[in-house]
Chains A and B, each alone.
Chain A
């Protein structure tokens, strides 16, 4: 069965620092890849997604992610974080006939003002 690994459980950064959150998946076939964000007290929102084409995907709020097929990775990046980026971030992979979506364990990002 496919699985998703997020390398960091909790990341603490200062404002203006650069961010990279790792995500690796195990499925070998064609996949759709997602990053969701959950701000404190709010529901999950789609940050960005990849399904084909340019492996560098740009999402909302200045986030981007790069799909590297050879490494089974879909890392999330942001050049300069803000305090408002404090949230939990989930990587997800969608593959298979039944549209089986698998989520990583999540990475909690704390940005210090």
Chain B
């Protein structure tokens, strides 16, 4: 939703190459997430971060790494170990309190050449 910017929207990488996807938010949300969306499998959690300088692996963390040096930013690095040829990844933030609703960016599509 508004306030979450993912870039780039489309990215091509060569085998053996690492690439980094950016996620920036101005919602002042503490928690941030990375999901991968695969057809027929819904959204699966790659990594999440509840606060700055802390992050945890999700269900499909292999081949990915993250950092959380600033509250506003949660970049995702896709390493050469990630074998999925094409992936649509989504960044999300979580609103604290109440129902803890998550808000999503527009996504980035990564293709391996």
Contacts and interface: CB of A to CB of B under 8 A. Distances in A.
Interface of A: 4, 6, 9, 32, 34, 36, 42-46, 49-51, 90, 92, 94, 98-101, 103-106
A100 B92 CA distance: 13
Nearest to B99: A51
**Considering the complex of A and B, which 9 residue pairs feature the smallest CB-CB distances, nearest first?**
A51-B99, A103-B43, A44-B104, A105-B42, A103-B42, A43-B106, A32-B99, A106-B42, A43-B104
B40 A9 contact: yes
- By DSSP majority rule, is chain B's interface helix, strand, loop, or mixed? strand
A98 B57 CA distance: 12
Contact of B1 (A46, A94, A103, A106): A46
A110 B50 CA distance: 37
Contact of A32 (B35, B42, B56, B100): B100
B84 interface: no
21 contacts: A32-B99, A34-B99, A36-B104, A42-B106, A43-B90, A43-B104, A46-B1, A46-B103, A49-B99, A49-B101, A51-B98, A51-B99, A90-B42, A90-B43, A94-B100, A99-B31, A99-B94, A101-B33, A101-B102, A103-B42, A103-B44
